[in-house]
Amino acid sequence: MELRLYDTFTREKRPFRPIDDKNVRMYVCGPTVYDFAHIGNARPLIVFDVLFRLLRQIYGKDHVTYVRNITDVDDKINARAALDFPGLPLNEAIRRVTEVTASQFLADAAALGCLEPTVQPRATDFVLPRADGKADMVTLIKQLIARGHAYEAAGEVLFDVRSMPDYGALSGRKLDEQLAGARVAVDAHKRNPADFVLWKQSSADEPGWDSPWGRGRPGWHIECSAMSAAYLGEVFDIHGGGLDLIFPHHENEIAQSRCAHGTDVMANYWMHNEFVQVEGEKMSKSLGNFVTIRELLADWPGEVLRLNMLKMHYRSPADWTLRGVEESARTLDDWYRVAADASGDKPAAAVMAALSDDLNTPQAIAELHALRGRAAAGADADRASFASSLRFLGFLSESAAQWESRKQAASGVDADKVDLLITARAEARARKDFKESDRIRDELVAMGIVIKDGKGADGKPVTTWEVAR
């Protein structure tokens, strides 16, 4: 089965060929930790987790390196820190903001069923030259200056876009067009309006590091060039992130990395997820439809959110709706009943084939529905194949009993009381007191309980129940 991935750079699906199949290397831009992650941020998290799982399955668990950074130095963080902790010195306030936000992010990712990346470096650990000799931002900037790709002006260090003939190749923006179309006032100190900041000066109370260009802090893009080189080398296999990062962030990462190292490419495959909107509208604070993962997790198990995200292909815009989430919850309830207690560790070939076609998760889910039908018919091999496919995709982290009892706990239902009522109803039916058994059924319905009458393995009547969604 051949893995094919859509590459933003070449704008086509191409067979995936790693540089080294003993160490497949992927970098995904992570969060800037100034605010809790929203459901849009969950998309790259989940999508690239599925790719990580797929690569591990194909190349072996120990042969994939996945790096996802945490951006803990950024002017948005500074602004938030000053706002939230006006009484504290800025650097202390920043530490509070980044600590709380980063740990919430890690908790969100785990709850969404994402495996931990191999490394999660923090930008602030890669500003200055390191004791372990791994790549760092200051050294990269020095290399760019030495190679004639960057210059100092007005206390800043800027990347000189004219020094790179094919600057703009990823986004397909021609430099001349950009300049012709630029309405922004040209900053007097820039050689070119499109030149971007590598290093800028910090005031005494802003976060800063002593550098050859004075006390300052890095621009946004340079951190990913440093951290990817630190863990994946100068050229690696896959670079991912959301669509909004293509320009300027990824364009500028490419410019920095290629010009500092003198390489033709930074990564061989560039992958970008489309955006998520909510109930048909763009998510924004002002519309009040800004949904954080943390809030959603208060109402739904992480696996429900994960399934709901994967129903949509990562390169299509996704509409996040309550209806969709409810439907995903019903699907998972059903899948848990059919599969949770089956073992097995070999995902179905049809599911692997769907994912290998540029992560076609809607097709993979269609295959899961088909597998569910066969599994419910009872053959152990089918149940094992269904269960392994679900686990491979990050589902079934609980037993069927845990799933059901969590659902009951979340709905505030008293399970003991339900069991007592069901026993009383069975007794009423046994003595043909149907008025009483109907009354008990109505009482259960009023509690939000759905009961199902069926037959057990021994042919005797059994009543099962669940909480209505």
- Of the two residues 274 and 326, which places its CB atom closer to ligand AMP in the complex? 274
Query: φ, ψ for residue 110 (rounded to 5)?
Result: -65, -40
Q: Which is nearer to Zn ion, 3 or 29 (CB)?
A: 29
Candidate residues 43, 200, 372, 441; the one interacting with ligand AMP per rule CB under 6 A:
43
Shortest gap between Cβ of 205 and ligand AMP (angstroms)?
Answer: 25
What is the C-alpha to C-alpha distance for residues 125 and 358, in angstroms, rounded to an integer?
Answer: 34
Q: Is 306 in the site for ligand AMP (CB under 6 A)?
A: no
Residue 117 in contact with ligand AMP, rule: CB under 6 A:
no
Q: Judging by DSSP bridges, how do beta strands 214-218 and 449-455 pair with one another? A: unpaired
Q: How far is the CB of 67 from ligand AMP (least distance, A)?
A: 14
Residue 44 contacts which entry, ligand AMP, Zn ion, none (Cβ below 5-8 A, type-dependent): ligand AMP
**Cβ contacts of 397-401, under 8 Å, gap ≥ 24:** 397/113, 397/303, 398/336, 398/340, 399/340, 399/341, 400/336, 400/337, 400/340, 400/341
Give the length of the chain. 469
Which amino acid is located at 26 in the chain?
M
Binding status of residue 230 toward Zn ion by CB under 5 A: no
Q: Does 73 bind Zn ion (CB under 5 A)?
A: no
**In the range 208-227, which residues lie near Zn ion by CB under 5 A?**
224
- Between 45 and 54, CB nearer to ligand AMP: 45
Of the candidate spans 132-140, 240-248, 300-308, 409-417, the one that interacts with ligand AMP by CB under 6 A turns out to be 240-248
Nearer to Zn ion, 29 or 296 (CB): 29
- Contact of residue 121 among ligand AMP, Zn ion, none (CB under 5-8 Å per partner type): none
- From the list ligand AMP, Zn ion, none, partner contacted by residue 224 (C-beta under 5 to 8 A by kind): Zn ion
CB 397 within 8 A of CB 303: yes
Q: What is the 3-state secondary structure (H, E, C) of the chain?
A: CCCEEEECCCCEEEECCCCCCCCEEEEECCCECCCCCECCCHHHHHHHHHHHHHHHHHHCHHHEEEEECEECCCHHHHHHHHHHCCCCCHHHHHHHHHHHHHHHHHHHHHHCCCCCCCECCEHHHHCCCCCCCCCCHHHHHHHHHHCCCEEEECCEEEECHHHCCCCCCCCCCCHHHHHHHCCCCCCCCCCCCCCEEEEEECCCCCCCEEECCEEEEECCCHHHHHHHHHHHCCCEEEEEEEHHHHHHHHHHHHHHHHHHHCCCCCEEEEEEECCEEECCECCCCCCCCCCEHHHHHHHCCHHHHHHHHHCCCCCCCEEECHHHHHHHHHHHHHHHHHHCCCCCCCCCHHHHHHHHECCCHHHHHHHHHHHHHHHHCCCHHHHHHHHHHHHHCCCCCCCHHHHHHHHHHHHCCCHHHHHHHHHHHHHHHHCCCHHHHHHHHHHHHHCCEEEEEEECCCCCEEEEEEECC
From the list 12, 244, 295, 427, which residue makes contact with ligand AMP (rule: CB under 6 A)?
Answer: 244
Residue nearest ligand AMP by beta-carbon distance: 242
> Closest distance between ligand AMP and the C-beta of residue 38, in Å?
7
From 275-283, 338-346, 371-379, 438-446, give the range in contact with ligand AMP by CB under 6 A.
275-283
Size of the site for ligand AMP (CB under 6 A): 15
Under the binding rule (CB under 6 A), the answer on residue 283 touching ligand AMP is yes
Contact code string over 1-40 relative to Zn ion, x by CB under 5 A: ----------------------------x-----------
> Is 276 a binder of ligand AMP (CB under 6 A)?
yes
Closest Cα partner for 9 from 222, 270, 220?
270
Q: Is 31 in the site for ligand AMP (CB under 6 A)?
A: yes
Check binding of 161 to Zn ion (CB under 5 A): no
State the number of CA atoms in the 13 A half-sphere of 107 facing the CB.
14
Q: What minimum distance in Å lies between the beta carbon of 124 and ligand AMP? A: 16
Among Zn ion, ligand AMP, none, partner that 283 touches (CB below 5 to 8 angstroms by kind) = ligand AMP
By CB under 6 A, name the one of 18, 40, 113, 219 that touches ligand AMP: 40
Which of 41, 228, 256, 308 is in the footprint of ligand AMP by CB under 6 A? 41
Which of 5, 24, 29, 194 touches ligand AMP by CB under 6 A?
A: 29
Cβ of residue 40: shortest distance to ligand AMP, in angstroms?
2
Size of residue set near Zn ion by CB under 5 A? 2
Q: Which of Zn ion, ligand AMP, none sits in contact with 41, Cβ below 5 to 8 A by type?
A: ligand AMP
C-beta of 196 vs 386, nearer to ligand AMP: 196
Between 125 and 333, whose beta carbon lies closer to Zn ion?
Answer: 125
Site for Zn ion in 355-374 (CB under 5 A): none
Contact residues for ligand AMP, defined by CB under 6 A:
29, 31-32, 40-41, 43-44, 241-242, 244-245, 273, 275-276, 283
Contact residues for Zn ion, defined by CB under 5 A:
29, 224
